[in-house]
Amino acid sequence: MRTANDTANNPTIAIIGATGAVGAEMLDCLESAAPADAEVRLFASERSVGSHLSFRGTSIELEPLSSAAFDGIDVALFASSSDISREFGPIAQAKGAFVVDNSSAFRMDANTPLIVPEINGGLLSTAPSLVANPNCTAAIMGMALWPLNQLSPITRVVASTYQAASGAGAAAMTELEDSTRAYLDGQPYQPQVFKHPYAFNIFSHNDTVDLETGANGEESKVMDELKKIMATPDLRISITCVRVPVLRAHAISMSIETEAPISVDEARRVLSAAPGVRLVDDRANNHFPMPVEASGQNDVLVGRLRHDLADPTGRTMMAFVSGDQLRKGAALNAVQIAAVLCGWG
């Protein structure tokens, strides 16, 4: 098994699912994060094999996925389906690679660390060979919740999301743009990715709804994963996940109850100091976190900090957060995990 010492220099990094929205963003993140002497190999489904993507000015040919493909790979970033991760993740591990998996396949597996480096990156010190990358909404929410949790343990979260198209992949982003243009032109449009119209519309998250509880799959993931990432199994969290016509940054409205009251100034102070977080909380100018300003950014934007005046105990803080779904919500976090595992500068 390789260790950080082996992979800090001249690593071979594979992206599995390199043509998807997350895979392409991983390649972009590696431009700045990977060591100068890194080699990158890109794997994609049959229909993309043979085409090329650019990395640091070099054209890289897309390869077909196979067991043999993992020979000599030091770090394998999986950005494909859960099925692909389940099939090839263990093979990559067995061949000595660090695996960082963006699918949900292993996230709730008790033996697999689920990591947001700023929150529980310490778990990477044992150099686990398989690490799960969280659900995008869980990662973005966690970035705002964790610094507050250090001030006083969070006991309750009630959240509603404003989720972008990118969470459903590049085809969903295209569908949002195409269907919106059709609407503006007065033309009909038949949705391909979503079952509901997306142009100037919002709808309940497209993940399957549990017929018994009424929660959808996305909501269950966020609730379960946040508790695991923050190691707060007793956190009472409830969430409603909604798609909005935004391209690539999620937003979340949160009511956050803590054990002890937190002042707005204290909250601003810890969030301002938190790595990976940018405070955007300007009441006078009505300037708060927005997808248009979070898109393409590594930092998660947090603001609209205010006490819930309906809680007479003063223990409930309201907050609004926006983060790039493809960066901190997916690719950036995965590359950050790889960087810690491999000891990249």
Binding site for a second copy (CB under 8 A): 156, 158, 160, 162, 176-177, 180-181, 184, 195-197, 200-204, 206, 208-211, 213-216, 223, 236-238, 240, 242, 244-247, 251, 253, 255, 264, 283-288, 290-292, 304-311, 316, 318, 320
Q: Which lies closer to a second copy via its Cβ, residue 55 or residue 162?
A: 162
In the numeric block, the tokens 């803080």 are attached to 317
φ and ψ of 236, to 5 deg = -90, 105
- Please tell me which residue in 136, 205, 241, 342 is annotated as part of the active site: 136
Q: CB of 237 within 8 A of CB of 224?
A: no
Q: Which lies closer to a second copy via its Cβ, residue 68 or residue 211?
A: 211
- Please tell me which residue in 29, 205, 241, 250 is annotated as part of the active site: 250
CB of 309 to a second copy, least distance (A): 6
How far from chain centre, in Å, is Cα 13? 20
Reported as type and span, the H/E element at residue 63 is strand 58-64
Q: Which lies closer to a second copy via its Cβ, residue 46 or residue 212?
A: 212
Q: Which residues pair with 342 in a beta bridge?
A: none
CB of 100 to a second copy, least distance (A): 30
Q: Which among 182, 154, 177 is positioned nearest to 267, based on CA atoms?
A: 154
Q: Which among 333, 345, 343, 341 is positioned nearest to 97, based on CA atoms?
A: 341
Active site residue 136: yes
Q: Which lies closer to a second copy via its Cβ, residue 150 or residue 208?
A: 208
Rounded to whole angstroms, the maximal C-alpha distance in the chain is 63
CB of 12 to a second copy, least distance (A): 38
CB of 314 to a second copy, least distance (A): 12
From the CB of residue 112, how many other CB atoms can be counted at a distance below 10 Å? Answer: 18
Torsion of the alpha carbons at 170, 171, 172 and 176, rounded to the nearest 10: 100
Q: Which lies closer to a second copy via its Cβ, residue 81 or residue 255?
A: 255
CB of 83 to a second copy, least distance (A): 22
In the numeric block, the tokens 């263990």 are attached to 90
Active site residue 196: no
Non-local (6+) Cβ contacts of 65 within 8 A are 16, 43, 44, 45, 84, 88
The letter for the amino acid at 38 is: A
How far from chain centre, in Å, is Cα 139? 5
CB of 325 to a second copy, least distance (A): 13
Q: Which lies closer to a second copy via its Cβ, residue 12 or residue 180?
A: 180
Q: Which residues are catalytic?
A: 136, 250
